[in-house]
């Protein structure tokens, strides 16, 4: 999503609804992410894009790869990217 520049996914990060970011961070399963509407799915993708964007601002590139490696080795996602 970070490199998806289709119109639906061009986002004003500074003014994105914080409650949407908090909501998307609480989703823990595919079935909770997918909705009954295309608009709902787009909104979930948009919120996820903003959440990841925020995380990337906080985590240095070198640190990101260390965390991704640990994730691949079975570490807990929430603990790594709190």
Give the tens place of pLDDT for each residue, 19-62.
999 999 999 899 999 999 999 999 999 999 999 898 888 888 78
How high does pLDDT run on average in the chain?
A: 90
- Report the domain count for the chain: 1
Measured in residues, the chain has a length of: 82
Can you read off the two tokens belonging to residue 39? 């608009």
Q: Is residue 32 part of a domain?
A: yes
Report the alpha-carbon distance of residue 2 to residue 5 in Å, rounded.
Answer: 8
- Is the pTM of the predicted complex or chain greater than 0.85? no
Residue ranges making up the domain that contains 56: 7-80
Report the alpha-carbon distance of residue 38 to residue 24 in Å, rounded.
Answer: 16
Q: Is residue 2 part of a domain?
A: no
Q: Note the pLDDT of residue 21.
A: 94
Residue 18 — very low, low, confident or very high, per pLDDT cuts 50/70/90?
A: very high
Q: Is residue 1 part of a domain?
A: no
Report the alpha-carbon distance of residue 82 to residue 78 in Å, rounded.
Answer: 5
Q: Are 70 and 81 contacting, i.e. CB atoms less than 8 angstroms apart?
A: no
């Amino acid at each position: 999503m970070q490199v998806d520049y289709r119109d639906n996914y061009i986002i004003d990060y500074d003014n994105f609804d914080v409650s949407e970011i908090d909501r998307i961070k609480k989703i823990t399963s595919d079935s909770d992410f997918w909705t009954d509407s295309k608009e709902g799915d787009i909104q979930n993708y948009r919120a996820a894009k903003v959440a990841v964007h925020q995380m990337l601002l906080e985590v240095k590139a070198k640190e990101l790869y260390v965390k991704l490696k640990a994730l691949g080795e079975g570490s807990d996602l929430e603990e790594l990217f709190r």
